[in-house]
Amino acid sequence: MLDPSKYPAALPHESIEQIFPEVFLVHGSARVGPGMRMNRNMIIVRHNGALTAISPVRLDAAAESELDRLGKLTNVIRIGYYHGVDDRYYVDRYGAEFWCQTRSDYYPEPQPTRPLDENIVLPIESTELFLFKETRFPEAAILLTVHGGLLITCDSLQHWTDWSYCHVVVQDGDKNVWLFPTDVDRFILAEVHDAKRWLVEAGL
C-alpha cells in the first residue's frame, strides 16, 4: 500500500480549473530554497476517460479526490529537466506510464517506461512534440492543436501573468539575485520571457 509520507508533500496550490474542453490546469508552487517559493503549473488532459498529467504537481487530499472524479490517471509526462519532484508519487500511486527523455535525470526516479523521442506517439490526440536537441540537458514542448492551440512548455519559454506564489525578485546586473518574502498576493505582469537563465544553462 502506498505511503504518501514517503514522498514530497503537497505544496500550496489552487483548485483544478478547466481551461478548455477536456483540458485542465492546476496552478501550484515549488520550493526553491529555504522559505522561498515560485509558481509552477500542471496540465491535465482527458481522452476517453483517461487522464494524462504534464509536469505533475502533487495535490492535497481534497484536490486529489477531485482529480480521481475526472477519470483514471494513466500517463505522466515530464517535459522539464528540473520539474520532476512529484513524478514518482503519481507513477506509484496510479501505476501510470511515465514519459520523459532518457537523459532527464535531475530526478532519476522513476525511470521512463515510454522514453520521449522523435518517433513517439503521445497518449493525447491532436498533439505535436518538440524536443530540444542542442541543449546540455533535455527539455521538450507539447502543442495541443485543438481549441485554437495550446503550447505547453516548462523552463524554455515562460509566460508570467500571475506571481501569487512567488517572492519578489531583485537582480543586481547579471550576477546576483536575491529573493525577498512579500505580502503582496498577486503581481500582474503580462510578458513573455525568453528564460535567459535557461538559455545560459542549456548552452544556447
d(Cα 187, Cα 49) in Å, to the nearest integer?
36
As a whole number, the mean pLDDT across the chain is 84
Residue 83's pLDDT is: 92
Buried b (16+ CB within 10 A) or exposed e, 18-47: eeeebbbbbbbbbeeeeeebbbbbbbbbbb
For 116, the domain range is 4-154
Pick 190 or 54 by higher pLDDT.
54
Residue 65's pLDDT is: 98
Report the amino acid identity of residue 76.
V
Domain assignment of residue 176, yes or no:
no
Partners of 16 in the β-ladder: none
Number of domains in the chain: 1
Residue 141's pLDDT is: 95
Domain assignment of residue 190, yes or no:
no
Assign 185 a pLDDT band (cuts: 50, 70, 90): very low
152, 24 Cβ separation under 8 angstroms: no
Domain assignment of residue 88, yes or no:
yes
CATH number of the CATH domain containing 81:
3.60.15.10
Domain assignment of residue 163, yes or no:
no
Assign 170 a pLDDT band (cuts: 50, 70, 90): very low
Instruction: Convert the pLDDT of each residue in 90-137 to its tens digit.
Output: 999 999 999 999 999 999 999 999 999 999 999 999 999 999 888 888
Residue 198's pLDDT is: 56
DSSP state letter for 6: G
Residue 195's pLDDT is: 52
Domain assignment of residue 58, yes or no:
yes
Average pLDDT over residues 73-92: 96
Pick 8 or 170 by higher pLDDT.
8
- What count of residues does the chain have? 204
Domain assignment of residue 169, yes or no:
no
Q: Is the pLDDT of residue 186 over 70?
A: no
Domain assignment of residue 50, yes or no:
yes
Average pLDDT over residues 78-101: 96
Return the residue matching grid coordinates 503549473.
41
d(Cα 131, Cα 164) in Å, to the nearest integer?
30
Question: If residue 132 lies in a helix (H) or strand (E), which one and from where to where?
Answer: none
